[in-house]
Structure 1
Amino acid sequence: MGISVTRPDGLLEPSNRAGSLSLLDRELERLRFKLQLKKGGQLKYYLYIKLMICCFAFLPGTPIEDQVKYVSFAYLSATRIVTIVSKMVNDISLIELPIYIRQAVTYSVFMLFKLHLSRYLIDKYVDSARQSIVTVHRLFRNTLSSWKDLQNDISRTAKVLENLNMVLYNYPEIF
C-alpha cells in the first residue's frame, strides 16, 4: 500500500490511501475485463485480491468515508469466496485443497466477522455474512473432527472462530 519513509509502519498516510486504493481497484477491474475472469481458479484469485484491496481501506486511521465505500465490495468478495469453496468441498476434502484457497477462505471469514461487527454493513447483508461465518466454521470443524491432532491453518482458524463466537455470545455488550 505504498512506501512511506516518514511513517514507522511504511504505509501511506491514511488520508492519502483512497487514491491509491481507487487506482488499484480500477486496474484490477481492467484486468478482469481483459482476461474475462468468470469462474474457476482465476475468479478465486480475483476475488481474493479484491478482498485484499478492501482490507487496506480498513486500516486504522483511514477516514470513515473512504472505508464505507469498500464495505459492500469486501462483503460481496468474501461471501463469493466462501460460496465457491463450499461447493469445491463437495468434490474434494478441505485438507486436500491448496493452501492459497484455504488462506482465501480464512481471510474471507475474518473479514466477514469484522464487517459483521461494523455498523456500516448494510442490514440486508448481516444475516448472510453471519451464515457465511457459520458455514466456514462448520467446514473447518468437520475437518478437525476427522484429524484430531492436526495443527495447521485449518485447526487455528477453527479455534479462532470458535473463540470469537464465544466472545460474541458471552459478552455482546463489547460489540
Structure 2
Amino acid sequence: MRWLRFLMPVASVAALTIVAILPWGLPTVDRFVLPLLPVVAIYYWTLDRDAWLPEWSIFLAGLLLDVLTQGPLGYWALVYLVAYVIAVYCSRLEVDTTAQRLALFTGAIITVTLFAWLAASAYFIAFLDAEPYVRGAGVAVLAAALITLLRRVARSAGTPARPVRLTRGD
C-alpha cells in the first residue's frame, strides 16, 4: 500500500494531463480550464511534504500536452514548471486557516494564469484575448473552493462524537 502512496502524485498529474488532452467539445472560451487541472494537482502535491512529485514528471506532463494537442513545443511544460516553482514558494509560507490556504491557492492560480497568458502572447507576438485565461482561472479557483469545502465536511462528518463514559453511581 505504501507504493500506492508513493506513485499517487505522479499518477494523478499524468491522469489529469490525459483528461486535459481529450477532446471534450468545449467552446474555445472554456478550453483553458482543462490544462489547469494538472496545475491544481501539482500545487496540491507540492504542498504535501510526504508526496513524491519529481520535476521531470511535471515537465513530461507539460511536454505530453504540447505534443498531443499540437501546441507550441515546451509551452505547457514551462507553465507547469512555473506552477511547481510557485507551489514550492507557497509551501514555505505558514498558513493556518482554510481561508488563508484558499487565498494562497487563488494567488498561485492567478500568477500561473498571468504567466501562461504572457507566454502565449509573446509566442504570437501580440496580446491575446485574456477572457479564456480569466475564465479558466475562475473555474479552477471555484473548483478548489468546492473541493476544500467538501473535504472539510467529510472530515467533520468522519470525526466521532465526544466519547461518553457511562458509570454506575454509588
- TM-score over 0.5 for the alignment? no
TM-score bracket, shorter-length normalisation = 0.3 to 0.5
Q: TM-score, normalised by structure 2?
A: 0.32
Q: TM-score, normalised by structure 1?
A: 0.32
- The structure number with the bigger radius of gyration is 2
Q: Which structure is higher in RCO with an 8 Å CA cutoff and minimum separation 6? A: 2
